[in-house]
């Protein structure tokens, strides 16, 4: 038992230590009225300049972490100069193929994007143009092995945008340039379910820990179902309101409050031996906060206007599948064996709640102070 707790502690501490998260890039493709291919790429250029392995989840795990920190310390103007110095090399990283023909992309402008939290990675927006071969009917976007996983979007007039999540060193399926081609609802549902799932596993560590905290004193399935349902309904509401622009809060407010929700659940687990009647209401309130966090992700990726509701529901389904997977893994790997043991609360539920509370406190302080 002690070995299990020690392993969980080490895993959580390693996650907490990862302050410089490696986030996916966003590549937006379009074709102008002259048939010229345009690319807007939003990515972490400091990581690329420092030659940080894009497969890492945290830049601090890279042997080049000190170099990365030096680039992070540069102001926007100095960083733009550093990027310009590597312009030719970076242009070769952009891999777009029409048929079997690689398209040469030329950098036209770049801008280091401001962040409201100095502890968050700083993205850079780079704009490229390239000439399409005569008769090109489709393109493929390949994520270079020096770049992180990328959400690839293709925008065409009178056609719904295509969105794919392409992993490092892989390429997208063929993206049709025919403006009359409409993406099927089935394809959209599959893509957005995948995006919602990956937002929880592996990228939504704070959401995962919150959900795990709910399971620690929920010995009855009905208690857990009520809490998860309340959480689901709540974050679905604010996810929709956030995307429609009805309710907006800056990340500098939402993220610390999400960390505070983790601390609250941990404290309640320690002080109460069973689920209180009011807990579902508390979980609902915190679900509203988590929904605003989800909305930030979809706002960046964008949703097709024609199938906005379908895409929103599909993303939400993906989030729920990620949450259910988290609960099932926790229950089948540990919970099913020990939850009804006489020593479960003292030896497992309370120590784990303490660990979760410490993680939440760390995140809260980090996010408030940054």
Mean pLDDT score across all residues of the chain: 82
pLDDT (0 to 100) of residue 143: 95
Q: Is the peptide bond before 93 cis (omega within 30 degrees of 0)?
A: no
Determine the distance from the C-alpha atom of residue 289 to the mean position of all C-alpha atoms in its chain, rounded to a whole number: 16
Residue 273 has pLDDT above 80, yes or no: no
Residue 107 has pLDDT above 90, yes or no: yes
For 114-136, what is each residue's pLDDT tens digit? 876 666 778 999 999 998 888 88
pLDDT (0 to 100) of residue 182: 54
Residue 258 has pLDDT above 70, yes or no: yes
Place of tokens 């143009």: 129
pLDDT (0 to 100) of residue 123: 92
Closest by CA position to 21, among listed 370, 320, 261:
370
Nearest-angstrom CA–CA distance, 82 and 16: 30
Residue 44 has pLDDT above 90, yes or no: yes
Count of alpha carbons within 13 angstroms of residue 330, beta-carbon side: 23
Q: Are 307 and 185 in contact (CB under 8 A)?
A: yes
SS3 (DSSP) at 338: helix
Question: Over pLDDT 70: what percentage of the chain?
Answer: 87
Residue 28 has pLDDT above 90, yes or no: yes
142, β-bridge pairs = 95, 171
> Taking the CA atoms of the chain, what radius of gyration do you get in angstroms?
22
Total count of residues recorded for the chain: 370
Enclosing H/E stretch for 226 = helix 221-243
pLDDT (0 to 100) of residue 17: 37
Closest by CA position to 238, among listed 338, 316, 306, 139:
316
Nearest-angstrom CA–CA distance, 97 and 77: 32
Residue 9 has pLDDT above 70, yes or no: no
Residue 3 has pLDDT above 60, yes or no: no
Q: In terms of pLDDT, which residue wins out, 355 or 206? A: 355
For 52-80, what is each residue's pLDDT tens digit? 999 887 788 899 999 999 999 999 999 99
Phi-psi region of 35 (alpha: psi -120 to 50; beta: other; left: phi over 0): left
Closest by CA position to 43, among listed 206, 152, 196, 130:
152
Angstrom CA distances, 3 to 9, 10, 81, 83, 217, stand at 10, 11, 50, 47, 21
150, β-bridge pairs = 25, 166
pLDDT (0 to 100) of residue 183: 58
Mean pLDDT of all residues in 328-335: 81
Of 32-41, 158-167, 361-370, the poorest mean pLDDT is in 158-167
Residue 198 has pLDDT above 70, yes or no: yes
Instruction: Tell me the pLDDT band of 96, cut-offs 50, 70 and 90.
Output: very high
Q: Are 292 and 242 in contact (CB under 8 A)?
A: yes
* Cβ within 8 Å of residue 149, ≥6 positions away: 24, 25, 54, 143, 165, 166, 167, 168
Closest by CA position to 113, among listed 25, 196, 16:
25
This prediction has a pTM of 0.57
Angstrom CA distances, 259 to 87, 103, 213, stand at 39, 45, 12
For 83-92, what is each residue's pLDDT tens digit? 999 999 999 9
For 284-325, what is each residue's pLDDT tens digit? 888 888 888 777 666 666 666 556 778 788 888 888 888 888
Nearest-angstrom CA–CA distance, 255 and 260: 9
Enclosing H/E stretch for 368 = helix 350-369
Of 21-25, 183-187, 277-281, the poorest mean pLDDT is in 183-187
Closest by CA position to 46, among listed 26, 75, 19, 14:
75
Number of neighbours of residue 174 by Cβ within 10 angstroms: 13
């Amino acid at each position: 038992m002690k070995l299990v707790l020690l392993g969980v502690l080490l895993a959580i501490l390693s996650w907490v230590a990862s302050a410089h998260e490696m986030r996916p890039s966003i590549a937006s493709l379009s074709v102008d009225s002259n048939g010229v291919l345009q690319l807007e790429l939003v990515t972490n250029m400091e990581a690329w300049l420092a030659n940080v392995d894009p497969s890492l989840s945290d830049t601090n795990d890279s042997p080049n972490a000190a170099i990365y920190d030096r680039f992070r310390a540069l102001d926007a103007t100095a960083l733009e100069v550093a990027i310009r110095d590597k312009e030719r090399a970076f242009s070769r990283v952009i891999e777009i193929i029409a048929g079997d023909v690689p398209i040469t992309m030329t950098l036209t402008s770049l801008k280091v994007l401001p962040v409201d939290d100095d502890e968050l990675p700083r993205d850079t927006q780079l704009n490229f143009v390239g000439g399409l071969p005569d008769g090109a009917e489709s393109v493929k976007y390949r994520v270079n092995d020096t770049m992180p996983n990328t959400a690839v979007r293709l925008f065409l007039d009178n056609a719904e945008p295509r969105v794919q999540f392409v992993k490092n060193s892989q390429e997208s399926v063929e993206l049709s340039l025919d403006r009359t081609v409409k993406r099927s609802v089935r394809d959209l549902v599959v893509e957005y379910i995948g995006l919602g799932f990956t937002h929880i596993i592996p990228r939504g560590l704070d959401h995962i820990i919150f959900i795990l905290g709910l399971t620690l004193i929920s010995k009855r399935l009905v208690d857990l179902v009520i809490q998860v349902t309340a959480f689901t309904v709540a974050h679905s509401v604010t996810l929709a309101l956030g995307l429609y622009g009805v309710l907006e809060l800056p990340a500098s407010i939402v993220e610390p409050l999400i960390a505070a929700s983790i601390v609250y659940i941990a404290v309640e687990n320690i002080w109460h031996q069973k689920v209180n009647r009011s807990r579902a209401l508390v979980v609902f309130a915190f679900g509203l906060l988590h929904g605003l966090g989800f909305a930030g992700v979809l706002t960046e990726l964008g949703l097709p206007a024609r199938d906005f509701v379908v895409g929103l529901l599909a993303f939400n389904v993906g989030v729920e599948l990620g949450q259910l997977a988290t609960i099932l893994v926790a229950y089948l790997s540990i919970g099913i064996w020990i939850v009804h043991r006489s020593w479960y609360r003292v030896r497992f539920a309370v120590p784990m709640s303490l660990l979760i509370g410490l993680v939440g406190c760390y995140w809260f302080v980090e996010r408030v102070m940054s």
